[in-house]
Structure 1
Amino acid sequence: MKITLKNFLFSISIIFMVTTVSLMILYFVMPIYYEHTKLNEVANEFNKITQQLNNEPLDRMKKKIDKEVLDRKEMITLIISDKKGKMIYPFTSDDGESFNIQVREGDTVENVGTSDGMNVQLTRADRNNGKTMKHEIKDNQGNEYYLLGIYSLQPVSDASKILLQIYPVLLLIDFLIGGVAAYFYSRFSTKRIKELSIATNQMLSLDHTIKCEIKGRDELATLAQDINQLDHTLLMTIDALKAEVAKVEEIERSKAEFMRVTSHELKTPITSLMGIIDGMIYNVGKFKDREHYLEVCKEILQQQTDMIQNVLTVSKLDMISIEEQENELFSLKEVIEAKLKTFILLAEVTHVELIVHLEECELEGDKEEVGKVIDNLLSNALRYTRQDGRIELFLNQQTLIIENEATKVLTKNELSQIFEPFYRPDFSRNRDTGGSGLGLFIVKQILDKQGWNFSFKELEGERMCFSIYFDTDRMIL
């Protein structure tokens, strides 16, 4: 059953029940309430008259009673008698003598009569419904009298019967009016719910432009805002997951490419090594000089050992997540000073001037991996600095800079590929001078994991500059 129909049936049922209960309450309560109200009015009126007549001359009492009768016209019939029950006002016998009455407060009119059994003729009281009230009063001379008030209430039973007769008509009218009101209310109350349902169904298309446009300050408007927020969060999460999936796919492609290139890089030297060994075994041509080619084989194996070690390093970097890496607080100045002991000797041998400016710099990270970065950067700087050239190393709390006077400045195309695995510029294809091509690739992997920005660019005077920014908010220019 649709919610509009449910709301309509519920509303019309409530209206029917409320109308029925209201009419029933009116039917049973109205007579009781009417009698209670009228009795209070009569009692108040009788008390007021008693106060007005008290301590007045008897003649003045009669005149006031006449005036009260004329003013009220109905409601209370007033009688004055002496303490013995003799009627003083207004009833007398046909021969002019007064009647004696015996009446108690609260007696019905049927009980009001003369002392000799004659009935009193009441002109303003309904004999079937009248009741009495009685108060003592005094005139101005101190004589005591009884003031008797006889009152009657109009019956409401007829009104109740009429109400019972018109009840079906009233119920039908209320049902019709309530039905129309319930119909429009149910349509209006479910309109925004339908709009909300349509909007949520449209959100299944993952369209960023679809929103629940529900105005107001009630619970439905709040629900619409919550749905919009939920939709926005879900879309952002989906976009983040897509980006993560794309990143993972790219990493997988990179790994596959890395393995392909690694296989090629390992295969070529091994093939050469096998050829040299075969030549030495069969004493072919120049390979008869076994001592020389044994040294060549050793160099090739050493290069392959270094390459395999670098490949293992790359694999280790891929396996260890940021959360798993062993971070510690260390002094980068001390790490560099420990590495410089070897590179200072190499610089003297290769006739390269090494200038060092070190300030204290404490960092939190993987000390061993940062040491590998320093090793690779200094090795590259020495390898690609011209003879009698200069290498300058600067360190402060925010930045590490290594500048060198390069044998050849890298082009923009070469700089864009320099961090790819096994990439060597055209001028360094020789393994003796160009290395394995994994050094800067490893540097990039470590710096990315540490979250440090870096740059590699050309400077004036045929110099190359590698900079690491430990302040992660700093932009690379």
Structure 2
Amino acid sequence: MKIMWKNFLFSISVIFTVTTVSLVILYFVMPIYYEYTKLNTVEREFNKITDDLDKKPLEEIKGRIDKQLFEGQEAITLILSDLDGKIVHPYLGEGSNSLNIRLGDQGETKILDSSDVMNVELSELDRGKELTSTIKDNRGIEYLLTGLYSLQPISDASAVLLQIYPFLLVIDFLIGGIAAYFYSRFSTKRIKQISMATNQMLSLDHTIKCEIKGKDELALLAQDINQLDQTLLTTIDALKAEVAKVEGIERSKAEFMRVTSHELKTPVASLMGIIDGMIYNVGKFKDREHYLAVCKEILQQQADMIQNVLTVSKLDMFSLEETNQEVFSLREVIEDKLKTYRLLAEINQVELVIHLEECLIEGNKDEIGKVVNNLLSNAFRYTKANGQIDLFLDQHTLVIENQAVKALSKAELSQIFEPFYRPDFSRNRETGGSGLGLFIVKQILDKQGWNFSFKELEGERMCFSIYFDTERIII
């Protein structure tokens, strides 16, 4: 069964039950409540009359009693008698010894004789009752004031109410049914809107929202669905970006392996040719001592290249969070690397200008050492004879400048960080290296999250700058 009809049946059942119980309670409680309220009203009225007549002259008392008979708010018949029970007022008249008193609307009459003692038993009358009180006139003489009253029976009204109960129930059933039907449609309409919106959200459309107004639970549910949808869409976009990133890395790895294979294939082919020439004593290859040294040099170059390839692979395999992070002095790392390059500067007659400030950073010490070593190696490899290399370090920047043999063009600078790339003027591995130095530098700096730049300055000077992450600098 649909929730609309469930709500409808439940609502109309509640309305019908509440109405029936209310009418039953009304039938039994109304007569009791009516008698209770009327008695309280009569007692208050009688007490007010008693207070008004007390300590007044007898004639004034009689006059007020007459007046009360006609103007009283309640149907109370007042009888004034002395303490011996003789009726003082109303006056019976000469030759009359009885008083006819009509109580209520039932037509019942109580005859009081002038000699009767006013101990009247009104239980014989239909719902007739009396109230008594003692008052004094202005001379201090005490009198007995009796108030006779009658209550209108409500049994007839209850019987009439019982007769119209079926009609009231039918009317209540119709009105309640109509109200329950429209309420059920209204309440389930918003649920249907939420259901339609959630089905449309399956298309992953960012523009679809649950437009449910109000501050009730359904409106809060719609807001939660919107937030959940937004979170899912954000997560899906992040996953798509991550997948695209992983695909890019895989493509880069594949391209790197292809280039690596090409770089290794040529030296290996050359090495195989030299060895074959020495084995068969062909031409110049008879000088085995010389060409054994050449083979060793080629093998050493390939060993260095393989080591660089392994370094690159290790950088791809481990993220920044998985490497050993520590706080260390970058100045000490640079000074340790400079021990070799100071001697190299004297041999190559290169002027080495150094200005190092203390700089404590957080990162992987070994990887940063490789960066410093590769940058210094490139600077010495491409600095012209009798040139100058400047090394500057402060708390925020590391700068390495050198007077280059030839400044790089914009096209060369755009490719300089690609694996195995060497400028046209340094195609020889003896002078141009393996072509992996700056590629490794870029991989490490990207992992550390540090910005860097490599640009040409005036006077054919090349400048490599590293800008440290200020949040990871320990002052």
Q: 1:375 matched to which residue of 2?
A: 373
How far off its partner does 1:279 sit?
A: 1.0
Q: Which moved more, 1:321-330 or 1:189-198?
A: 189-198
Q: Distance in 2 between matches of 1:358 and 1:120?
A: 126
Q: Would you say 1:446 and 2:430 are equivalent positions? A: no
Q: Distance in 1 between matches of 2:73 and 2:470?
A: 103
Q: 2:294 matched to which residue of 1?
A: 296
Q: 2:383 matched to which residue of 1?
A: 385
Q: Are the equivalent residues in 2 in contact too, given 1:393–1:401 (CA < 8 A)?
A: yes
Q: Are the equivalent residues in 2 in contact too, given 1:339–1:375 (CA < 8 A)?
A: yes
How far off its partner does 1:339 sit?
A: 1.2
Q: Would you say 1:203 and 2:197 are equivalent positions? A: no
Instruction: Provide closer, same or farther for how the CA distance between residues 97 and 160 of structure 1 changes in structure 2, counting only shifts above 3 A.
Output: closer
Q: Which moved more, 1:453-462 or 1:406-415?
A: 406-415
* Cα root mean square deviation, aligned: 2.8
Q: Distance in 1 between matches of 2:111 and 2:44?
A: 22
Q: Distance in 1 between matches of 2:258 and 2:16?
A: 83
State the secondary structure of the residue aligned to 1:283: coil
State the secondary structure of the residue aligned to 1:232: helix
Q: Which amino acid aligns with 1:66?
A: D
Residue of structure 1 aligned with 2:414, choices 413, 416, 424: 416
Q: List per-residue Cα deviations over 1:415-452 (Å, max 9, x = no partner).
A: 22221222222222211111111111111111111111
Q: Which amino acid aligns with 2:6?
A: K
Residue ranges of structure 1 left out of the alignment (5+ in a row): 100-108
Count of aligned positions: 463
Q: Distance in 2 between matches of 1:120 and 1:446?
A: 119
Q: Which amino acid aligns with 1:50?
A: T
Q: Distance in 1 between matches of 2:12 and 2:391?
A: 88
Q: Distance in 2 between matches of 1:323 and 1:450?
A: 10
Q: 2:47 matched to which residue of 1?
A: 47
How far off its partner does 1:284 sit?
A: 0.8
Q: Which amino acid aligns with 2:270?
A: S
Instruction: Provide closer, same or farther for how the CA distance between residues 58 and 96 of structure 1 changes in structure 2, counting only shifts above 3 A.
Output: farther
Q: Which amino acid aligns with 1:471?
A: D
Q: Are the equivalent residues in 1 in contact too, given 2:415–2:421 (CA < 8 A)?
A: yes
Q: Are the equivalent residues in 1 in contact too, given 2:320–2:447 (CA < 8 A)?
A: yes
Q: Distance in 1 between matches of 2:144 and 2:12?
A: 60
Instruction: Provide closer, same or farther for how the CA distance between residues 191 and 237 of structure 1 changes in structure 2, counting only shifts above 3 A.
Output: same
State the secondary structure of the residue aligned to 1:437: coil
How far off its partner does 1:307 sit?
A: 0.9
Q: Would you say 1:336 and 2:334 are equivalent positions? A: yes
How far off its partner does 1:127 sit?
A: 3.2
Q: Which amino acid aligns with 1:294?
A: L
State the secondary structure of the residue aligned to 1:205: coil
Alignment of 1:257-276 (within 5 A): 257-276=255-274
Instruction: Provide closer, same or farther for how the CA distance between residues 19 and 91 of structure 1 changes in structure 2, counting only shifts above 3 A.
Output: farther
Q: List per-residue Cα deviations over 1:208-244 (Å, max 9, x = no partner).
A: 1112222333333333333222222221111111111
Q: 1:324 matched to which residue of 2?
A: 322
Q: Distance in 1 between matches of 2:341 and 2:111?
A: 138
Q: Which moved more, 1:38-47 or 1:72-81?
A: 72-81
Q: List per-residue Cα deviations over 1:16-75 (Å, max 9, x = no partner).
A: 222222222221111111101100111111112222222233333222111111113862
Alignment of 1:212-227 (within 5 A): 212-227=210-225
How far off its partner does 1:375 sit?
A: 0.8
Q: Distance in 2 between matches of 1:234 and 1:457?
A: 43
How far off its partner does 1:408 sit?
A: 2.3
Q: 2:105 matched to which residue of 1?
A: none
State the secondary structure of the residue aligned to 2:242: helix
Alignment of 1:71-470 (within 5 A): 71-72=71-72, 75-90=75-90, 92=92, 95-97=95-97, 114=113, 127-470=125-468
Instruction: Provide closer, same or farther for how the CA distance between residues 91 and 152 of structure 1 changes in structure 2, counting only shifts above 3 A.
Output: farther
TM-score between both structures, scaled by the size of structure 2: 0.90
Q: List per-residue Cα deviations over 1:165-198 (Å, max 9, x = no partner).
A: 1111112222222222223323333333322222
Q: Distance in 2 between matches of 1:228 and 1:17?
A: 40
State the secondary structure of the residue aligned to 1:323: helix
